[in-house]
Structure 1
Amino acid sequence: MQLGVYNAILHDRSLPEALKVIGDLGLTGIEINTGGFLPAVHVPNFDDILESDTARDDYLGLFEGTGVKIAGLNCNGNPLHPNSLIGDKHAEDIRRSIRLANRLGQNRVVTMSGLPGSEPGTKQVSWVVNAWNSAALDVIDYQMELAAKFWSETDKLAQDNGVKVALELHPQNVAFNSANFLELIERAGSKNVGVELDASHLFWQQMDPVAVVRYLGEHVVQAAAKDVRVNPEYAAINGVLDNSFRRLGADEPRTNLGGDEYANEWPKNSAWDFVALGRGHDVEFWTEFLRALYEVDPNMLVNIEHEDVSLGRVEGLEIAADVLKRADAALTASLNS
């Protein structure tokens, strides 16, 4: 098992500084963002690396002696967005990331399956939450058709570059659970498209991440260690699909997601929150999560994603790393007993 950190939380510092933080945590991997919703902060010479062996070697030289190596690339975005300013860019970012992975000796690119609009000519995405009516299934069929075409084409590029694309099962995407992931790859006929098993989005959908790993088996090719705490007092009233988000103004700090789209402020009385490992599920759970991943691939890349807004950047990583390392130690002890 290879334990690391997804680097987005460390975009406030240079790559060498980020590598030191991760090394000091006792972790050995860094999953590097290469586009999509977020810029490739830690790959400033992206284009040069694609073309120049010298640029590539110089970049890889930054990792030498740090004890930390690249543990996959991450290009989360919406390559199927009907607004071409977003969709076309994110799709190209994925293609570029696949080529970059090949150049850097990597074989994993994490992203999302994407989500189109409900019909041709629309400018906004449309996510069918509960397809109880026939028209909703018409929308899903249309969206799956577009998704299958894109991922069939992208799969060929991934195969040519020796890369597995790992789709995060993330709501507001065509593939957000086991069933629609399997439908997508069957329609696409893909061989190099798998799953990045991020437990957090499964938790709040009332899915069991351990059961999902064992169900999907070899389709799981990478994993994210991120926790969720469900807040029963608010979930009981509004449910986990509560949409009480606040739009942030242009004069407030906000994250651009492409085009003219920005992340909203999280609900105040939220039904659930992203939290550091251990604040939603204990070490025992994470031990079993690692065990399931180990059964699929003993060398699985498992990277912490820190989005607990109640904790500082490094503080949250310290808490998560402690839990993950204890879970890994417990797994190792059980395997050797």
Structure 2
Amino acid sequence: MRLGVYNAILHDRSLPEALKTIAGLGLTGIELNTGGFLPAKHIPNIDQILESDAARDDFLAIFEGTGVEIAGLNCNGNPLHPNPVIGDKHGNDVKRSIRLANRLGQNRVVTMSGLPGGEPGAKQVNWVVNAWNSAALDVIDYQFEIAAKYWKEVDQLARDNDVKVALELHPQNVVFNPATMRELIERTGATHVGVELDASHLFWQQMDPVAVVKDLGPLVFHAAAKDIRVNPYVAINGVLDNSFRKLREDEPRTNLGGDEWANEWPKNSTWDFVAVGKGHPAEYWAEFLKACHDVDPNMWVNIEHEDTSLGREEGLALACETLFKAAKIGNL
């Protein structure tokens, strides 16, 4: 089992400094952001690398002697967004990342399936949470038609470049669980599109990541170690609570493309992202690592740190402690 870090949490430092931090934690991989919701902080010259062997070789030379290798590329975003300012950019970022992966000797690109509007001419996305009425199923069918057209094209590009595209099972996307993943494959016939198993978004949906890995089997291409804690307030508002606050223009906020921004997390949150180990013990993560290992012994499991109560390195250190203990428990 190979353990690394998704680099977004280390965007506050240069790539060489990030690699030094990762190696110091005893990890061996870095998953590089290459577009989508976030800028490609650690690989800003993507276009040059795509065209120039010298630029590619210079970039790869940064990793020599560090003990850390590239552990996949990541361009999480919404490639199906009805606003072309967002959808077209994110969709092109996915395709560019596939070509970049080939250039860098990589075979994994992580992203999201995306989410369109609910009808022709829509300007905003529309995620059907509970399709109890017939019109809602019509919306889902329309969205899958759009998704299938895009992902057929991406699957062919991935096949041509010997790259596997791993979709995070993320809410507010057409693909967010095993059933919707299989629906996409059935509609596209995809052979190079599968799953990035991020445990966190499964936890809060009351899914069991270990059971999901076993259910999907070889469709799991890649994994993320990210934890959540369910809070007592879930008894009042449930896991689908939407008590977010829209941040003002004069407040620090993260752009998600176009004029869309991340909101402030609910004050009395029903669940929170926490460092690996604060939501589920090492014994559980041992089962998770073993399930991933049984699918592919060479699968990368990369830490994604979004625990706002801990500093960057503090949170990564706790996650490492948990995962190293889990690997020992599982004899991995």
Normalised to the residue count of structure 2, the TM-score between the two structures is 0.99
Distance in 1 (alpha carbons) for counterparts of 2:328 and 2:14 = 31
Cα distance in 2 for residues equivalent to 1:107 and 1:330? 29
Q: Deviations over 1:257-287 (max 9, x none)?
A: 0000000000011000000011000000000
Counterpart Cα distance in 1 of 2:331 and 2:66 = 25
User: 1:295 aligned to 2:288?
Assistant: no
- Residue identity in the other structure for 1:316: G
Q: What SS is found at the alignment partner of 2:328?
A: helix
Q: CA deviation at 1:44?
A: 1.5
Equivalent position amino acid for 1:284 in 2:
E
**5 Å matches for 1:200-211?**
200-211=200-211
Deviation at 1:185, TM superposition (A): 1.1
Q: What are the within-5 Å matches in structure 2 for residues 189-204 of structure 1? A: 189-204=189-204
For residue 102 of structure 1, what is the aligned residue in structure 2? 102
Task: Give the superposition deviation at 1:180.
Answer: 0.6
Which residue identity does 1:24 align to in structure 2? G
**Which residue number corresponds to residue 267 of structure 1?**
266
Using the size of structure 1 for normalisation, the TM-score is 0.98
Letter aligned with residue 171 of structure 1: P
CA distance in 2, matches of 1:17, 1:330: 31
In structure 1, C-alpha distance between the alignment counterparts of 2:153 and 2:4, rounded to whole Å:
30
Q: Could you say what secondary structure the match of 1:175 adopts? A: coil
Counterpart of 2:148 in structure 1 is 148
- 1:231-254 C-alpha deviation (Å, 9 max, x unpaired): 1x2100000000000001111110
C-alpha distance in 2, partners of 1:251/1:147?
36
- Residue matched to 2:68: 68
Paired with 1:332 and 1:49, the residues of 2 have a C-alpha distance of 39
Letter in 1 for 2:306: E
Partner of 1:235: 234
SS class of match (1:268): coil
Task: Tell me the amino acid that sits aligned with residue 25 of structure 2.
Answer: L
Q: Which consecutive aligned stretches of 4+ in structure 1 deviate over 2 angstroms post-superposition? A: none
Match of residue 311 from structure 2: 312
Matches within 5 A, 1:1-337: 1-231=1-231, 233-332=232-331
d(CA) in 2 for partners of 1:266, 1:178: 27
Structure 2 Cα separation of the partners of residues 331 and 49 of structure 1: 39
How far off its partner does 1:329 sit? 1.8
2: CA distance, partners of 1:295 / 1:43 = 32
Shift of 1:132: 0.0
Counterpart CA distance in 2 for 1:331 and 1:75 is 31
CA offsets, 1:35-56, max 9 Å, x none? Answer: 0000000001111100000000
Q: How many residues matched? A: 332
Q: Deviations over 1:128-169 (max 9, x none)?
A: 000000000000000001001110010000000000000000
| Percent identity of paired positions between Structure 1 and Structure 2 | 76
CA distance in 2, matches of 1:329, 1:73: 28
Deviations for 1:92-112, whole angstroms, at most 9, x for unmatched residues? 000000000000000000000
Structure 1 residue 328 displacement after superposition: 1.2
CA distance in 2, matches of 1:120, 1:299: 43
- Which AA in structure 2 matches 1:313? R
Distance in 2 (alpha carbons) for counterparts of 1:16 and 1:246: 36
SS of equivalent to 1:332: coil
- The residue type equivalent to 2:104 in the other structure is L
What's the RMSD between the two structures over aligned residues? 0.6
C-alpha distance in structure 1 between counterparts of 2:15 and 2:320, whole Å: 19
Q: What is the one-letter code of the residue matched to 2:120?
A: P
Q: Distance in 1 between matches of 2:40 and 2:323?
A: 26
